[in-house]
Chain A
Amino acid sequence: MSLHTMAPDGHTADHADAPVFAGARRAELDELLTRYPTKMAALLPALWMVQEERGWVSPEGMEEVARVLDLTPAYVKGVVTFYTMYHQHPVGQHFVQVCTTTPCNVCGAEDVVTAFLRETTCGELGVTSADGRYTVVEVECLGACGFATPVMINEALVECVSVDSVKDLLAGLD
């Protein structure tokens, strides 16, 4: 999965006005619609497609999804804001998600967070670094509790991250 390179002020790079659901993506959506008896049921998958194409779900993205699925933009927004994985604003090229729920918390997850904030120069949770490369957030249980501390970077899960392995992990990213 690729993300647009985000400038620090959050503007997307290119073709932000072109529709998402055209060409191959339209075909993908059409196939998806055959799997469910209602158009509404394709909403979560359609939002994923928008995020995969644009890196986040913008108001324009929500309006387009609403149009293709015969829903209102307000309805789509209500759904988008419910689920934590849809970004409502652009994020860094590498979206670092550290699990700090109790099973990982007792294994030092919060120290891992601190290490990421330092090494990425983000300094604060949820704030994209000046060079646009990183955003670090805490997330709830990732379902990899036996592999503490698990960290998701964009869609990829890295198991058993420790304070010591943070630096190398970041260095290994493109």
Chain B
Amino acid sequence: MGYPHPSHPRETPVISKHFGDAEARTLAGWQAHGGYDVLRQALATDPVEIQNVVKESGLRGRGGAGFPTGVKWSFMKPDGKTHYLVINADESEPGTFKDREIMRWTPHQLVEGTAIAAHAIYAETAYIYIRGEYTEPIARVREAVREAYAAGILGANAMGSGKRVDVHVHKGAGAYICGEETALMNSLEGRRGNPRIKPPFPAVAGLFAQPTTINNVETVCAVPHVLRHGAEWYKSLSSPSNPKSTGTKLFSVCGNVAKPGNYEVGMGFPMKDFLWDLCGGPPAGREFKAIIPGGSSVPILTPEECAAAVMDYEGIQSAGSLLGSGGVICFDDTQDMVRQIARLARFYAHESCAQCTQCREGTAWTVKILERIRDGEGTMKDLDTLLEIADNMTGKTICVLSDSCATPVVSGLKKFRHEFEAKIPKNRSMAMIPDLAPATA
């Protein structure tokens, strides 16, 4: 549902069906909605069969990468080694707040999906890594896990199946980069949240050097529904014109928009209707100026580009951006794009782990130049420098935080260059800028 707003008739509430329903949080409440029936059946099903259904359904990772979930699971073989499932609940991509709602309204949905996924990848242990700031979701999920253990749903003999399923909640401590799957594993192991070089890939050597699968919260929450109703049903929820993007997606809508909130729609939903109908369009008396469709790391789109786009992986890509995490950030015509892009760069500079030279230095340098331009102290040469820095930061690092910082700079300069130029005083040379020369002696 467009929580906190009432569900829009054109939404397809599957994962978000019980947002706002306090009863659904409890084990009893969840079971009343049919909860854990699917888990019981799944535990009696061969993992490969489960993997195949999920493959057939076309479910793709909902954290941002969009990798086919069933395929990811199929990398985990019954090799007798200890496998781990890690649920990435480190939702920190600016503009994204869907996993928060899933966890605080339907924690049992997450627990059930987690248990099924663990079984499907031959893992007996799953860790749910929740960002440290998510106090309420942590409390709700911990309570749901406690209830599930007490009811014998989790534990050494999960639902009487003879199989062990252990789920542990692990609290983060404030680092966006821990949402990157290899950094998350390092953080879970008690290290600094530094991303790892790949290879080795997690399915070969991940958490504690064991074969590991990392899945997003929304992804595993789709699984019980896929198994209950089947792959064909899941495919039927989305627009038939694009078989590569199936099922539903929760889009987190925020910023300058009439009705911010989480909206669950079938993949392939027309973005024009989404923004102006479901979300109510821009705030009263204003117009949209820019939309970032998939969390702050994807290119900025103009309202016109959005109006022509469909909301699925391929659709947003052909519109010139990426579906990413589905965090839709709206900017209206009173916003200063230079100011906001500078603020975005500051976010990335704050979150850089410091491993790679380009990211560690490039993010901070980008911020300094953008803030100087924002404050009226920029030069035209700065714009060229920004683009060269962005190019040097792209495709050259262990993870894509560096690229993500470059993206709004590049797309911002491409589509809103006039705003940057308007802030640059005419006939200005660097020599005229006070306080930039280092103090002598």
By the criterion CB–CB under 8 Å, are B343 and A101 in contact?
Answer: yes
Contact status of A41 and B173, CB under 8 A, knowing A141-B93, A146-B97: no
CA gap between A156 and B170 in the complex, in Å? 18
By the criterion CB–CB under 8 Å, are A145 and B97 in contact?
Answer: yes
By the criterion CB–CB under 8 Å, are A103 and B192 in contact?
Answer: no
One digit per residue, 1 when the CB lies within 8 angstroms of any chain A CB and 0 when it does not, for chain B 154-196 equals: 0000000000001010111111100000000001111111000
Contact status of A106 and B131, CB under 8 A, knowing A35-B168, A37-B208, A143-B100: no
Q: Which of B133, B175, B188, B256 contacts A143 (CB 8 A)?
A: B133
Contact status of A41 and B189, CB under 8 A, knowing A144-B100, A146-B261: yes
By the criterion CB–CB under 8 Å, are A140 and B351 in contact?
Answer: yes
By the criterion CB–CB under 8 Å, are B340 and A82 in contact?
Answer: no
Chain B contact residues, CB within 8 Å of chain A: 4, 91-97, 99-100, 131-136, 166, 168, 170-176, 187-193, 208, 252-256, 260-262, 296, 327, 329-332, 335, 339-340, 343-344, 347, 350-351, 353
CA gap between A87 and B256 in the complex, in Å? 33
By the criterion CB–CB under 8 Å, are A102 and B94 in contact?
Answer: yes
- 13 A-B pairs (CB sep. < 8 Å): A40-B189, A41-B189, A44-B171, A48-B132, A69-B190, A102-B94, A103-B94, A106-B330, A142-B133, A143-B100, A145-B252, A157-B133, A157-B135
By the criterion CB–CB under 8 Å, are B191 and A79 in contact?
Answer: yes
Residues facing B in A124-174 (CB within 8 A) are 139-148, 152, 155-157
Q: Which of A43, A106, A143, A157 contacts B255 (CB 8 A)?
A: A106
Chain A contact residues, CB within 8 Å of chain B: 35-45, 47-48, 69, 78-79, 82-86, 100-107, 139-148, 152, 155-157
Contact status of A146 and B260, CB under 8 A, knowing A44-B190, A79-B192, A157-B135: yes
By the criterion CB–CB under 8 Å, are A44 and B335 in contact?
Answer: no
Q: Which of A43, A85, A101, A148 contacts B190 (CB 8 A)?
A: A43
- Chain B CB within 10 Å — which of A43, A107, A143, A152 has the most? A143
By the criterion CB–CB under 8 Å, are A41 and B260 in contact?
Answer: no
List B contacts of A85 (CB < 8 A). Answer: 132-133, 172-174
By the criterion CB–CB under 8 Å, are A45 and B175 in contact?
Answer: no
List A contacts of B187 (CB < 8 A). Answer: 44
CA gap between A145 and B330 in the complex, in Å? 11
List B contacts of A105 (CB < 8 A). Answer: 339-340, 343
- Minimum CB–CB distance for B185 against chain A, Å: 10
By the criterion CB–CB under 8 Å, are A84 and B347 in contact?
Answer: no
CA gap between A75 and B255 in the complex, in Å? 40
Contact status of A106 and B340, CB under 8 A, knowing A38-B189, A82-B175: yes
By the criterion CB–CB under 8 Å, are A145 and B188 in contact?
Answer: no
List B contacts of A104 (CB < 8 A). Answer: 254
CA gap between A142 and B133 in the complex, in Å? 7
Other contacts beyond A78-B192, A102-B94: 7, CB < 8 A = A42-B190, A105-B339, A141-B347, A143-B131, A147-B4, A152-B135, A157-B133
CA gap between A59 and B295 in the complex, in Å? 37
List B contacts of A40 (CB < 8 A). Answer: 189-191
CA gap between A152 and B132 in the complex, in Å? 12
CA gap between A172 and B340 in the complex, in Å? 32
Q: Which of A47, A78, A141, A152 contacts B173 (CB 8 A)?
A: A47
By the criterion CB–CB under 8 Å, are B94 and A84 in contact?
Answer: no
List B contacts of A145 (CB < 8 A). Answer: 94-97, 252, 254-255, 260, 327, 329
List A contacts of B351 (CB < 8 A). Answer: 140
By the criterion CB–CB under 8 Å, are B190 and A106 in contact?
Answer: no
CA gap between A39 and B208 in the complex, in Å? 12
Q: Which of B92, B136, B253 contacts A141 (CB 8 A)?
A: B92
List A contacts of B262 (CB < 8 A). Answer: 146
Contact status of A103 and B171, CB under 8 A, knowing A143-B96, A145-B252, A157-B136: no
List A contacts of B339 (CB < 8 A). Answer: 105
Contact status of A48 and B173, CB under 8 A, knowing A140-B350, A157-B136: yes
- Minimum CB–CB distance for A153 against chain B, Å: 11
List B contacts of A140 (CB < 8 A). Answer: 92, 94, 176, 347, 350-351
List A contacts of B96 (CB < 8 A). Answer: 143, 145
By the criterion CB–CB under 8 Å, are A84 and B335 in contact?
Answer: no
- Minimum CB–CB distance for A51 against chain B, Å: 9
List B contacts of A82 (CB < 8 A). Answer: 175, 192-193, 353
Question: Which of chain A's residues has its CB closest to B132's CB?
Answer: A85
Q: Which of A101, A143, A148, A155 contacts B347 (CB 8 A)?
A: A101
List A contacts of B92 (CB < 8 A). Answer: 140-141, 143
CA gap between A103 and B296 in the complex, in Å? 9
